[in-house]
Amino acid sequence: MAKPKRDIDPVEAKTAILDYCKRKGALVAGVADLDAINRICPPGHRPADMMPRVKSVISLGVGGQTQGAWSVPAKALGYFGSTETRGYTIAYGAAFYIENKYGVPSIYCPPDMDPDAGPRVPLQSLKVHAELAGIGARSLAGDILLHPEFGYMYFASVFTELELEPDAPLETNPCPAPSCVSMYKSIGRTPCMKFCPVQCLDGEVDTETGAQKVMRYDMAACAEMTQQFETVPATLMDAMKAEDEAAREDALFDPDNKILWYKLSAGSGGLFAQCFECMRVCPIATKAPMADPILRYDAAREERERAEAMPKAAAE
């Protein structure tokens, strides 16, 4: 087993690793408190269940699609709306970065489902990691994490045997936004609840403080709408149980089902959690100060120009 390459300054290491993630495209990155993860996550789904000597969990978030994407029809957004693979690529790179730079074992945490627990139970909760790392807070939209500055993001995690100081969860939750509280006062629902196509969101807002009181989420109803891969066995079952050739043909060649075969053969991400309607109407997802990729690009360019101008100014 390789040994750590040199004396490691954990403060320098944390800064270098989080900087790596941001340089590669993460909008935010942080370290989650491992003890807190162990208190929240059940046995079998704690980081040490995957990496026995894990000491730190790093979480990072990437932004969603282009600004224009929010205006396309649901059937198109379903094909390209999600950008989580960018986050996974950065996490993969960060695991290699830590091993190469510090000689300490690290892994990319798979975002996938637990083969022993079925298709709705993940191996690890990337959401818990991100929440505890202080890069997102639970919203009334089925606990989707939102960030006050960057809005709606996708998250990825890295586990490492390098010990890093944990960050704290966000102190404030941007959800519900003031306009959502106003809507709730008038109709008893927030935009995400109102516009969810299968009505799987419900909850209560404290109208005095504007804070979340209760969040209710019918995960099965959301999954029926969004996890299209789950319908494949039912379709095959219908075909097997069909009474005659014509009924079997109907089950397999029905236009809705044919599109499933298309998505499977194309390896389309459209088979996974591709309903964006609660986020399309969410003012934090779409209008948080840096949710808009055009604004983010402009801000990054201005910062780059400022940084480039500094040495010149110092030399003058």
The residues binding ligand SF4 (CB under 6 A) are 139-142, 175-177, 180, 190-192, 196-198, 200-201, 222, 225-226, 275, 277-278, 282-284
Q: What one-character DSSP code corresponds to residue 39? A: H
Question: For ligand SF4, which is the closer residue by CB, 58 or 281?
Answer: 281
Question: For ligand SF4, which is the closer residue by CB, 219 or 234?
Answer: 219
Question: CB within 8 A of 20, min separation 6: which ones?
Answer: 93, 94, 97
- Least distance from C-beta 27 to ligand SF4, angstroms? 18
- Least distance from C-beta 178 to ligand SF4, angstroms? 9
Question: For ligand SF4, which is the closer residue by CB, 24 or 138?
Answer: 138
Q: What are phi and psi of 64, to 5 degrees?
A: -85, -155
Q: Quote the CA–CA distance of 261 and 252 in Å, as a whole number.
A: 9
Joined tokens for residue 275: 């309903």
- Least distance from C-beta 201 to ligand SF4, angstroms? 5
- Least distance from C-beta 174 to ligand SF4, angstroms? 7
Question: For ligand SF4, which is the closer residue by CB, 99 or 292?
Answer: 292
Question: For ligand SF4, which is the closer residue by CB, 190 or 257?
Answer: 190
Q: What are phi and psi of 193, to 5 degrees?
A: -65, -45
Question: For ligand SF4, which is the closer residue by CB, 77 or 196?
Answer: 196
197, 164 contact by CB (below 8 A): no
Max CA separation in the chain (angstroms): 86
- Least distance from C-beta 244 to ligand SF4, angstroms? 35
Q: Is 243 left (phi over 0), alpha (psi -120 to 50) or beta?
A: alpha
Strands of the chain, DSSP E: 28-32, 56-63, 106-108, 137-138, 145-147, 151-160, 201-205, 212-217
Question: For ligand SF4, which is the closer residue by CB, 8 or 181?
Answer: 181
- Least distance from C-beta 257 to ligand SF4, angstroms? 20
- Least distance from C-beta 255 to ligand SF4, angstroms? 22
Q: Quote the CA–CA distance of 135 and 125 in Å, as a whole number.
A: 14
Q: Quick one: which of 279, 284, 28, 49 has its CA closest to 174? A: 284
- How many CA atoms within 13 Å lie on the side-chain side of 296? 20
Q: Quick one: which of 19, 13, 11 has its CA closest to 102? A: 13
Question: For ligand SF4, which is the closer residue by CB, 92 or 195?
Answer: 195
Question: For ligand SF4, which is the closer residue by CB, 153 or 200?
Answer: 200
- Least distance from C-beta 176 to ligand SF4, angstroms? 4
- Least distance from C-beta 254 to ligand SF4, angstroms? 22
Joined tokens for residue 119: 């298709």
DSSP string, 176-227: SPHHHHHHHHHHS--HHHHH-TT--EEEEE-TTT--EEEEEE-HHHHHHHH-
